[in-house]
Copies of this chain bind each other. A is one copy, B any other.
Amino acid sequence: MKRMIEQGPRVVIVGAGFGGLLAARALRRAPVQVTVVDRYNHHLFQPLLYQVATSVLSPGDITAPIRRVLRSPNTRVLLTEAHSVDTQRKVLVCDAGELPYDVLVLATGATHSYFGHPEWAEHAPGLKTVDDALEIRRRVLLAFEAAEREPDPVRQQEWLTFVVIGGGATGVELAGALADLTHITLRKEFRRIDPTSARILLIEGLPRVLTAFPEQLSERARRDLQKRGVEVWTGAMVTGVDAQGVQVGDKRIQAHTMLWGAGVAASPLMRSLGMPLDKAGRLKVEPTLTAPGREDIYVIGDVASLQQDGHPVPGVAPAAMQMGKHVARNIRRQVKGQPLLPFRYKDKGSFAVIGRGAAVGVTLRQKLKLTGWSAYLGWAGIHVFFLIGFRNRVSVMLEWLYYFLTKRREVRLITGGVHHELPAIAPLPSEATRAQQEAPAH
């Protein structure tokens, strides 16, 4: 045990994602008492979560215990869910108690948005938490097991149909990884089904995928996906999702496995501030990253909306990390009685992966566009570099090396019970033949 240093203003940070974690780390020697609140006990490196969902990495490879990362004597970590902020009394209300603050940092991130159709969520899970990734992994792996057991060829094909909704980075990465999983890894492992006949659809409402990237890279991503056998539907609006498939305008796709990468909305905690939010539920912050008119509340990452040079600062990990560090700087200044500094986002580039050896990326102020292997290696290097902790870096690199050399995805664990209704076992073909041959004898 380390006793806490009990001096200085109480800084309460809500959320230990990229923004919150970096703010807390940058305050570890500041003359303040930091409390970090999160509903999970681990920090998650979300950009690699799709690799947990598709059996390349283990959850432990891309997470770190928040307590271990933030073990400075001025910091305590509490596992609890924050429900609301009482700005009058300066108190954060959590699921089992209240935390008074002098300075509050809201870094609670985004959640899925189903465009007013919350009933779609159970059929098309999204990918934000470790539990989400394990659920997706379970559904994808079970679908192949169910198909192998299914005697009816039509129903078999339904089990082998995977629909990814949303053509942003998450959707593209999931669709590409599913293609590699089915066409490379599982190719030889079944007796009745041909995993390479799996149908993978990526559905995007806008005219192109990866709209955050230049058009030319969207085109390249589409071609790379198609080369891998992914059907890319753009300008296609999903109008219905149920347990048996997806409705896209007048087209019906029968499927058992739907994944959601389409909409995000700011965490609902923001609503309790009683301040006007934008359509996505975010708060428009001052350039100093404080809430309008309140220097005791900082809002960063995916819950903040900020314009810079006429463009919105994007809701990506590097922006959240830079904001977290900036907030720590401003809090130190506040303690010294200095005025707050405005934040400036430095765009160092961004990448999206399609699959083994295929990615797109822009860097150097959008001047350098990368595709194929160069983008893939750039992406891999940056992601390993920014992982929290030496152990995670080594283990992710080794898992990638192994996957790279063998094409095997080994973390193919179905855990958490069999929720799907799996079909009846079909007899072996020879058994069917035998039964037919024996039938006349009766």
Binding site for B on A (CB under 8 A): 1-4, 6, 10, 33, 35, 39-42, 58-61, 63-65, 67-68, 71, 76, 78-80, 94-100, 130-131, 134, 141-142, 145, 148-149, 187-196, 389, 391-392, 394-395, 398-399, 402, 406, 408, 410-418, 422-431
Which residues of the other chain, B, contact A80 by a CB distance below 8 angstroms? 149, 422, 425
Query: Nearest Cβ distance between residue A396 and chain B, in whole angstroms?
Result: 12
Q: Return 30 A-B CB contacts under 8 Å, by A number.
A: A1-B187, A1-B190, A1-B193, A4-B191, A4-B192, A4-B428, A4-B429, A6-B429, A35-B428, A39-B418, A42-B414, A58-B60, A59-B411, A59-B415, A60-B411, A60-B413, A64-B410, A68-B412, A78-B149, A95-B422, A96-B149, A96-B424, A96-B425, A97-B426, A131-B416, A134-B415, A391-B406, A391-B410, A394-B402, A398-B398
A195 touches B1 (CB 8 A): yes
Across the A-B interface, the 4 shortest Cβ-Cβ residue pairs: A97-B425, A60-B411, A58-B58, A1-B194
B1 touches A63 (CB 8 A): no
A42 touches B413 (CB 8 A): yes
A79-B149, A398-B398 known; 12 other A-B pairs, CB under 8 Å? Answer: A2-B189, A4-B429, A35-B428, A42-B414, A71-B188, A76-B191, A80-B422, A96-B425, A97-B149, A97-B424, A391-B402, A395-B395
B394 touches A148 (CB 8 A): no
Contact flag A413-B188 (CB < 8 Å), given A78-B149, A78-B425: no
CA gap between A427 and B189 in the complex, in Å: 56
B410 touches A60 (CB 8 A): yes
Contact flag A413-B63 (CB < 8 Å), given A191-B3, A422-B79: yes
A428 touches B145 (CB 8 A): no
Chain B, Cβ-Cβ closest to A145:
B79
Query: Nearest Cβ distance between residue A45 and chain B, in whole angstroms?
Result: 13
B41 touches A414 (CB 8 A): yes
Query: Nearest Cβ distance between residue A413 and chain B, in whole angstroms?
Result: 5
CA gap between A429 and B247 in the complex, in Å: 57
B65 touches A415 (CB 8 A): no
Query: Nearest Cβ distance between residue A66 and chain B, in whole angstroms?
Result: 10
CA gap between A398 and B394 in the complex, in Å: 9
Which residues of the other chain, B, contact A194 by a CB distance below 8 angstroms? 1
Which residues of the other chain, B, contact A59 by a CB distance below 8 angstroms? 58, 411, 413, 415
A2 touches B394 (CB 8 A): no
CA gap between A35 and B191 in the complex, in Å: 11
A71 touches B414 (CB 8 A): no
Query: Nearest Cβ distance between residue A33 and chain B, in whole angstroms?
Result: 7
Contact flag A94-B412 (CB < 8 Å), given A1-B195, A58-B60, A196-B1: no
Most buried by B among A78, A80, A410, A422: A410
A430 touches B6 (CB 8 A): yes
CA gap between A8 and B364 in the complex, in Å: 64
Query: Nearest Cβ distance between residue A225 and chain B, in whole angstroms?
Result: 23
CA gap between A418 and B79 in the complex, in Å: 10
Query: Nearest Cβ distance between residue A417 and chain B, in whole angstroms?
Result: 7
Most buried by B among A63, A145, A412: A412
Contact flag A428-B6 (CB < 8 Å), given A58-B58, A145-B41: yes
Query: Nearest Cβ distance between residue A371 and chain B, in whole angstroms?
Result: 31
B191 touches A68 (CB 8 A): no
Query: Nearest Cβ distance between residue A173 and chain B, in whole angstroms?
Result: 20
Query: Nearest Cβ distance between residue A53 and chain B, in whole angstroms?
Result: 13
Query: Nearest Cβ distance between residue A16 and chain B, in whole angstroms?
Result: 13
CA gap between A71 and B433 in the complex, in Å: 24
CA gap between A1 and B185 in the complex, in Å: 11
CA gap between A79 and B392 in the complex, in Å: 32
CA gap between A46 and B110 in the complex, in Å: 38
CA gap between A411 and B188 in the complex, in Å: 32
CA gap between A131 and B40 in the complex, in Å: 19
